[in-house]
Structures are given as structure tokens and as C-alpha cells.
Amino acid sequence: MHEIGLSAKNLYVSYNDKPAVKNVSLDFASKQVTALIGPSGCGKSTFLRSLNRMNDTIPGAKVTGEIWIGDENINSPKTDVVSLRQKIGMVWQRPNPFHKSIYENIAFGPRYHGIKNKKKLDEIVEESLKKAALWNETKDRLHTSALALSGGQQQRLCIARSIAVKPSIILMDEPASALDPVSTAKIEELITELKQEYCIIIVTHNMQQAARISEKTAFFLMGDLVEYDSTDKMFTDPQKKQTSDYISGRFG
């Protein structure tokens, strides 16, 4: 049995009173990948963003329900959102490195959280880049601009940046959808590697990708969680007609 990394209970999200995620409860296991799938507009990204309180920054967005990490409900107003984002990393659809060097992209977070020692920062930069399978490609150019990296390398840098602050959970919103097939394969390989340590929750439109990298899959439709199961079961023997119609490409 895998430990629970994060647990959403009765999560409800609306934008200007229009519901986008309706009463969703889901447990996410540590050291596993859970894929969130469903047609465009079904609420996958909204749900994902709620898990690290990113919807707080969207005008008109309202999130109710509970999100538990261990014994802390992080959807409580008392939660320190800055330290929360240290526990929950986020990787977006388009790589978004800072306009800084490769080194500074990684060192930024740990420095912000109080690490000033140069040797320690050097160690974190190396370790994070190694974990993101980017060290060999960047070790001789750490102080050059991150923007000179390829799109795929930039996305691995963003993953390294999120790892650098030592989260236990990583949220990924279609992290490979802007990348070519070779870079996509590298990101998938990396996710498979990272799941040995982290609870990973990924939104993807790519059914093959969900089947390749995830242990669990949740299917959303119009804000509802329609079905949740092991990925194998979901793709071979879905219990709901809507799920089977979606994964067989009949809509979406």
C-alpha cells in the first residue's frame, strides 16, 4: 500500500458562481503518478491549481472543501501559502524559466527559503539538475542564460527548479504538450524516475501518455469526477460509459 500524499475532500470550485469542479474527493498516493484526464473545459486544470492554492490568485474563483497533506488542511485560511508551495511544486504547460542563468533559476527558491551558503546552494543546484536529468547537458554552462536552452531542456529545468525546494508533491499541467516527441519521451522518462520519491499529479490530454506513466487515472467530465481507478483497469475495463466513450476517442 502506498501512503497518501495528498487528499482532496469535497472540493468545489467556481468562477463568479459558475461551477467548474463539483464536489470532488480524491486521494493521491505518494510515490505514484495520478493522471487527470477529460475533455477540454472539464475542470482538470482548475482542480490541479486548487491543490496548491493557485486559484487564490484568480479573481472570482472560490474554492471550498478540504485538501489534506498529513494532518493539515491546506485549504484553511490559516495556511501559509508560501511554505505550502515549497511542499507542492508546480510545472506548467509551457516552460517558464526566469530570465536568469541556469544556476540562478535553481538557486532562487532555496535562497528565498533562507539558504545563503554558497557551497550548499552549489550542492542543491547539482543535485536538482541531476534528478531532472539535465546535469550533463548544463554543467559546463551553469552561468549562461536559461533562455538559451531548448524547449525540452527548459521544461526539465523547470522540473529541477521545483525539486530544488524539496517538495513532496509535484503538480504538472500538460508538461509535455508544447514539446517535440523526443523531448516528450525524456520528460516521461523523468516522471517515471521522479515518482520513486514524489507524489505526482499530472493533467494530460494524451491517453497514451497517461497509460505509459501513471498508476492511477481520474476521468473528469463537466466538473464531475466520473471515474477513478488504476490506470490499467481504466484503459481496459472502464466502468462508466462516458469513460469508455472518451478513452476510445468517441468525444473530446
Ligand X SMILES: Nc1ncnc2c1ncn2[C@@H]1O[C@H](COP(=O)(O)OP(=O)(O)OP(=O)(O)O)[C@@H](O)[C@H]1O
| Site for ligand X, rule CB under 6 A | 15, 20, 38, 40-46, 58
CB-side neighbour CA atoms (13 Å) of 134: 30
- Cβ proximity to ligand X, 21 vs 88, nearer residue: 21
Residue 171 CA: distances (Å) to CA of 45, 92, 228: 10, 8, 18
Give me the least distance between CB of 158 and ligand X, in Å please. Answer: 18
Rounded Cα distance between 139 and 125, Å, is 10
User: To the nearest whole angstrom, how small is the minimum distance from the Cβ of residue 202 to ligand X?
Assistant: 12
In this complex, which beta carbon is closest to ligand X, that of residue 54 or of residue 194?
Answer: 54
Question: To the nearest whole angstrom, how small is the minimum distance from the Cβ of residue 47 to ligand X?
Answer: 7
Q: Give strand pairing partners of 135.
A: none
79-91 in b/e form (b: 16+ CB < 10 A) is beeeebbbbbbbb
Do 220 and 8 contact (CB within 8 A), yes or no? no
Pair type for strands 224-230 and 199-203: unpaired
| Nearer to ligand X among residue 36 and residue 129 (C-beta) | 36
Q: Considering the complex, state which of residue 54 and residue 191 has its C-beta at the smaller distance from ligand X.
A: 54
Minimal distance, residue 226 CB to ligand X, in Å: 13
Is the backbone of residue 149 left (phi > 0), alpha (psi -120 to 50) or beta?
beta
Q: How many CB atoms lie within 10 A of CB 56?
A: 14
Q: How far is the CB of 58 from ligand X (least distance, A)?
A: 5
Q: How far is the CB of 220 from ligand X (least distance, A)?
A: 6
In whole angstroms, give the CA distance from residue 193 to residue 130.
11
Q: Which is nearer to ligand X, 42 or 129 (CB)?
A: 42
Taking the least distance from each CB to ligand X, the nearer of 45 and 183 is 45
Q: Are strands 169-173 and 199-203 parallel, antiparallel or unpaired?
A: parallel
